[in-house]
Amino acid sequence: EVSTEDPETAFCTLANREDLNPEEGSIHHCLYQFTRNEKLTETNKLLCDVCTQRHYGPKNNIKSEKKYVYTNAKKQMLISLAPPILTLHLKRFQQAGFNLRKVNRHIKFPEVIDLAPFCTAKCKNVAEGTTKVLYSLYGVVEHSGTMRSGHYTAYAKMRSMNNHLSDLVLRGQAPQALETEPVKGQWFHISDTRVQAVSASKVLSSQAYLLFYERLL
């Protein structure tokens, strides 16, 4: 969807990104890099319809002559609709010559994460004036092994019913309660038919491949 935004607010977020100093090797750093402001110049310039029409005249003459005007631009990927369930998929491979190699580096992730610095200032389902969009971790998928073979296991949190989340999923109603702590519950490690209770610290030290968060506020 292409939309025209006020240049003064087009790249604004719900919370100030300039105050962020995300630690490298953390999920915050991954999100910060994914949503960074990019400059499109030289061979990456943007085809500008307005500039083309201004320079060459009406559109019907442009296609026949195949003349276009490209201009420098800025691009930024931001969240426009805060989801009830947030799924983060970590890229666990990298190109090594003609081969793919598994990335085993540990990426730090928190039990509660704030998406506000990565949401557009006009995020559709966030109340006006909100500066926090919090999510609580409830599931992790981990992969051990190599690109050719390995084993998937999971960590899941058994917790009580979240009425605010139900309202958000079923009715689209944003939560009103100011919940800022992780949802209470017991973590379990699941590997095939084996299920074992584990601590939160064990979960946070895992080599996460997929992260699942539920919205708090």
Using one digit for the tens of pLDDT, what is the confidence trace for 96-131?
777 787 888 899 999 999 999 999 998 888 888 888
pTM, rounded to two decimals? 0.80
- Domain carrying residue 146: 79-215
Q: Give me the pLDDT at residue 4, please.
A: 60
Q: How many domains does the chain have?
A: 1
Domain holding 182: CATH number?
3.90.70.10
CA separation, residue 58 to residues 24, 52, 55, 69 (Å): 49, 9, 9, 13
CA proximity to 79, closest of 133, 137, 26: 133
Share of the chain above pLDDT 70, in %: 84
Query: Which of 23-27, 165-169, 195-199 is most confident?
Result: 195-199
Instruction: Pick the more confident residue, 73 or 95.
Output: 73
CA separation for the pair 210, 131 (Å, rounded) = 26
Is residue 162, in this structure, part of any structural domain at all? yes
In this predicted structure, the answer to whether residue 168 has a pLDDT above a threshold of 70 is no
Which ranges in the chain belong to alpha helices (H)?
27-34, 49-56, 59-65, 163-171, 200-204
Is residue 26, in this structure, part of any structural domain at all? no
Is residue 18, in this structure, part of any structural domain at all? no
